[in-house]
Amino acid sequence: MKTNPATSVAKTGAATTRWNPSPWRQDFPLIAEQTGLAYLDNAATTQKPTAVLNAVRAYYRERNANVHRAAHQLSDAATRAFEAAREKVAARFGASSAKEVIWTRGTTEAINLVAAAYAPLVLAEGDNVLISRMEHHSNIVPWQIACSRFGARLRAVAVLPNGELDLDDFDAKLDERTKIVALSHVSNALGTVNPVADLTARAKAAGAAVVVDGAQAAAHIEIDLRALGCDFYAFSGHKMYAPTGIGALIGRQELLEAMPPWQTGGEMIEHVRIEATTYAPPPFKFEAGTPNIAGAIGLAAAVDYLNDLDFARVASHEADLLAYATASLNQINGLRIVGTAGNKSPVLSFLAQGAHPHDIGALLDQQGVAVRAGHHCAMPLMETLGLPGTVRASFGLYNSRADVDALVTAVHKALSLL
């Protein structure tokens, strides 16, 4: 097994002042066992703690049955666990009730749901939808399609060279024909934390509904939807230590009630006749077919895991990693950090000496450092910044300064090979 060079440095004590171990590392088997790996691709997906792995396994071993068809005890147990998971998610995010939580495959499906079922209620010819140039493709393409369906225009707020949203441009592009504002809480490519509460207030004052893409926020920021004030919030479980294939759209109840279903079939109906069908109330109206029961139960375990942590301590650990990584990479000749917003999540994008990001990514991988390289599903942002892409290191709560040291060592080596 490869050893992580930075870990061994720290263990010898040669760099003890730099050694800031994560208290949560042992909770994650993949991280704890693969000692040669510096996993710095958390913005793509996070590893899973034992508590989540156990919850999924226990569900399949002890309670596996379909939900909402409780003719037998096993189904009843599965249904209760599944609905308890919804309650947990509602409480963690500050939803008004569990009825506001619609299970989806993740952020992408959640945004598509809003674009398919809410946009038709409000968009007409000449209206506009306001996004930004830093959005992930999953918060761009659904709006392009919705706009083209209704003859509306898609507007995109400019991004400043440091990776912050241009707030003057936001005000300039928001008008009385703006029906939907859809923004990321945190940029996956640059780590910028957008002032979504403030922007929501401005959008609501202009009469627009607000959709927040919380994919990159959920693991790093304690989200209170009452304080944010948005109408829809989308997130993915797999980016917050839960399984893949599960996430949610949290929506304001009166809007969910007014929205038509989008996918149809079993589970989402009240009564079906050949002539016509009546629908179940939200959230079930939006959950056609057998849901990802194990995923929801795994997500509830991830929420329990996060609830049990001192989140202020997590936030300060991650802020320390970001500051340490920023300072360390800034010392490397020819390396440029992309995205220097004042308020950043633990995401660090960079470019090195004109080398293509993919080449750097491959050379880092050979040294046991897992990062992402490319456009990060944010091509309009890369176009705005005039870049082919970046190398992105993104941190989770199990990372430590030793992982940053491994990154820095590996970047030096990569540059020496180019």
Q: Is 108 in the site for ligand PMP (CB under 6 A)?
A: yes
Decide: 407 and 38 in contact? Cβ < 8 Å: yes
Out of 5, 49, 106, 295, name the contact with ligand PMP by CB under 6 A: 106
Q: Give the nearer residue to ligand PMP in terms of CB position, either 5 or 191.
A: 191
Q: Does 292 bind ligand PMP (CB under 6 A)?
A: no
**Which residue of 4, 194, 236, 367 would you call a contact of ligand PMP, by CB under 6 A?**
236
Quick check: is 377 catalytic?
A: yes
Residue 349 touches ligand PMP, criterion: CB under 6 A: no
Give the per-residue contact string, 115-154, with ligand PMP (x = CB under 6 A; - = no).
---------------------x-xx---------------
For 284-290, the CB contacts below 8 A with 24+ separation are 284/68, 285/256, 285/259, 285/261, 286/102, 286/113, 286/117, 286/249, 286/256, 286/259, 286/261, 286/262, 287/102, 287/103, 288/261, 288/263, 288/264, 289/263, 289/265, 290/66, 290/67, 290/266
Nearer to ligand PMP, 106 or 374 (CB): 106
Among 4, 216, 292, 399, binds ligand PMP (CB under 6 A): 216
> b vs e for 60-75, b when ≥16 Cβ sit within 10 Å of the residue's Cβ?
eeebebebbeeeeeeb
By CB under 6 A, the count of residues binding ligand PMP is: 14
- CA pair distance 34, 368, nearest whole angstrom: 10
- In angstroms and rounded to an integer, the radius of gyration of the C-alpha atoms of the chain is 22
Is 192 among the residues that bind ligand PMP (CB under 6 A)?
no
Among 128, 188, 328, 390, binds ligand PMP (CB under 6 A): 188
Instruction: Tell me the sheet residues that pair with 130.
Output: 155, 181
Q: Pattern 24-43, binding to ligand PMP, x per CB under 6 A?
A: -------------------x
213 lies in the binding site for ligand PMP (CB under 6 A): yes
CB of 136 to ligand PMP, least distance (A): 3
Q: Beta-carbon neighbour count of residue 248 at 10 Å? A: 31
Show contacts with ligand PMP in window 372-391 (CB under 6 A): 377
| Integer Cα distance of 398 and 19 in angstroms | 13
Q: Which is nearer to ligand PMP, 92 or 136 (CB)?
A: 136
Instruction: In angstroms, give the least distance from the CB of 2 to ligand PMP.
Output: 27
Is position 46 an interface residue for ligand PMP (rule: CB under 6 A)?
no
With respect to ligand PMP, which residue has the nearer C-beta, 136 or 285? 136
Q: Which residues carry out catalysis?
A: 377
Query: Contact positions toward ligand PMP, by CB under 6 A?
Result: 43, 106-108, 136, 138-139, 184, 188, 213, 215-216, 236, 377
